[in-house]
Structure 1
Amino acid sequence: MSGVSEPRGKILALFTGKIESRWPGKAPSAINKQLAEAALRLEENGFVDDRQADLKVHGGPEKAVHHYASEHMEFWRGMFPEQGDQFVPGCFGENISTTGLHEDNLCLGDILSLGTARVQVCQGRQPCWKLNEHTGIRAMAAQFQKTACTGWYYRVLKNGVVAAGDDMKLLDRSNPEWMLKRLITARFDPNLAVADALELSRLPALSANWRQAFEKKSQSGFTENTDSRLLGT
């Protein structure tokens, strides 16, 4: 990997969740992740102890693991000081909290070690209304999207065992021009250049859902209504 910067991370904590009915009249969720006290087995669809409520939009091979940078917590405490105490690792329903890795030093398609497993960055997170309900902040999902501090998802290339304290190392980088911050910003940009949308729609490292989204964004006159996802309306 000559010329490739090599960001490294350290796992602070791992989190898994179970399906719960938490909000009257609304769909159940597994966003309320709890700290894992021991090492976890990672397989194609994620950590074996983790669950997702709506498998149409959560989980699966291309959303196997959600990673969130602990470095962002200070930013959120500053933005929402009255709720600042809740911004700690695990608070957004992530599976992994680390130091050293974030949207400004990882790229689409990056392959990293994760314990004895191997994973590949394949998309950012599309925040939804459940994040608002979970945090008690109605603007949370919209601010996630606006800042592009959404975290990202991995596909699992090699099964293995992962534990808090493990180091994470960049093993390969195939798309250095698509830093995660740029990719996530592009996904939510209503005025994204057609050339960028087409390029992204053809990148094999990108998840199928995001490739399809960028293919739509490349079409003349296409508009995307995000109210239902962000507000639950």
Structure 2
Amino acid sequence: MRAPEHQGPRVSAVLVGRAVPFSRPGSFSAIAKSAVTGPVDAGPEGLRGDEHGDPRVHGGVDKAVHLYAWEHYTAWRAELGPLPVLDRPGAFGENLSTIGLTEDEVCIGDRIRVGTTLLEVTQSRQPCWKLNDRFGVPDMARRLQDTLRSGWYCRVLESGSLQAGDAIELVERPHPGWPLSLLMEMLYRRPLDRGLLARARALPLVMSWQRLIERRLEEGRVEDWSSRLEGPSP
């Protein structure tokens, strides 16, 4: 019998969601996304039919599309048990569930072709408290941060369409020495490593990350993440 051909990185599911009232007073979220079939249009603001509960911190051109590795689900089920939310893609509010890519293999600035859409990797996700409530695990956001299994964002350089089953083709890699796992190592595990921070300062990072690096180099202190990770009182 002929051995099956190796499949490269690909999209296993495309997901979108509407912003609805969430778990705490006054909060809205579109984290509960559903898989869609067939081609989905992708433009500078993201996927057609997708919304964001808090546009101040979610969405926008630098966070237009959120990708998350399906491979991570196995580790989460081993750590958390058989939570229903982990039965299918979309547990983390991702737009694209990927197979064959993790934060170790994706570099900042990578340009990837998915369907007829050209994406550019902009940053890893900085998880927030809404994951705690979605999973019913009080420290879920911090777990994502500590394990570096956070997923990543892309901007849309060329609008097009994409769908489940599409290959993820690497078109250009301008910063091969900067996998997302190393950037997250700098953010969370070696936050005051001046050598690493100085190297990262030369990267074309999003403005918020540029400011973060400059503050750490100038002030020698780490940010207070409690508001993002724990959120307002329920």
CA distance in structure 2 between the aligned counterparts of 1:24 and 1:102, rounded to whole angstroms? 32
CA distance in structure 1 between the aligned counterparts of 2:182 and 2:42, rounded to whole angstroms? 28
Contact residue 69 and residue 151 of structure 2 kept, 8 A = yes
Indicate whether 1:225 and 2:220 are aligned: no
Contact residue 13 and residue 35 of structure 1 kept, 8 A = yes
Q: Given the superposition, is the C-alpha separation of residues 178 and 24 from structure 1 closer, same or farther in structure 2, using an over 3 Å criterion?
A: closer
CA distance in structure 2 between the aligned counterparts of 1:214 and 1:24, rounded to whole angstroms? 32
Partner of residue 3, structure 1: none
CA distance in structure 2 between the aligned counterparts of 1:190 and 1:101, rounded to whole angstroms? 24
Indicate whether 1:147 and 2:147 are aligned: yes
Unaligned runs of 5+ residues in structure 2 are: 1-6
Q: Which moved further from structure 2: 179-188 or 211-220?
A: 211-220
Give 1:22 deviation, angstroms: 2.4
Aligned with 1:38: secondary structure? Answer: coil
Contact residue 190 and residue 224 of structure 1 kept, 8 A = no
CA distance in structure 1 between the aligned counterparts of 2:171 and 2:49, rounded to whole angstroms? 27
CA distance in structure 2 between the aligned counterparts of 1:66 and 1:135, rounded to whole angstroms? 18
| Aligned AA (2:31) | I
TM-score, normalised by the number of residues in structure 1? 0.92
Contact residue 197 and residue 217 of structure 2 kept, 8 A = yes
Give 1:8 deviation, angstroms: 3.7
Partner of residue 50, structure 1: 50
| Aligned AA (1:198) | A
Q: Given the superposition, is the C-alpha separation of residues 24 and 220 from structure 1 closer, same or farther in structure 2, using an over 3 Å criterion?
A: closer
Give 1:99 deviation, angstroms: 0.7
Q: Given the superposition, is the C-alpha separation of residues 186 and 8 from structure 1 closer, same or farther in structure 2, using an over 3 Å criterion?
A: farther
Contact residue 42 and residue 161 of structure 2 kept, 8 A = yes
| Aligned AA (2:73) | M
| Aligned AA (2:67) | H
Partner of residue 4, structure 2: none
Partner of residue 122, structure 2: 122
Unaligned runs of 5+ residues in structure 1 are: 1-6
| Structure 1 residues 86-165: aligned runs within 5 Å | 86-87=85-86, 88-165=88-165
Partner of residue 4, structure 1: none
CA distance in structure 1 between the aligned counterparts of 2:190 and 2:113, rounded to whole angstroms? 34
Give 1:54 deviation, angstroms: 1.1
Contact residue 192 and residue 221 of structure 2 kept, 8 A = no
Q: Deviations over 1:114-152 (max 9, x none)?
A: 110111111000000001111111111000000100000
Partner of residue 195, structure 1: 195
| Aligned AA (1:41) | D
TM-score, normalised by the number of residues in structure 2? 0.91
CA distance in structure 2 between the aligned counterparts of 1:219 and 1:96, rounded to whole angstroms? 37
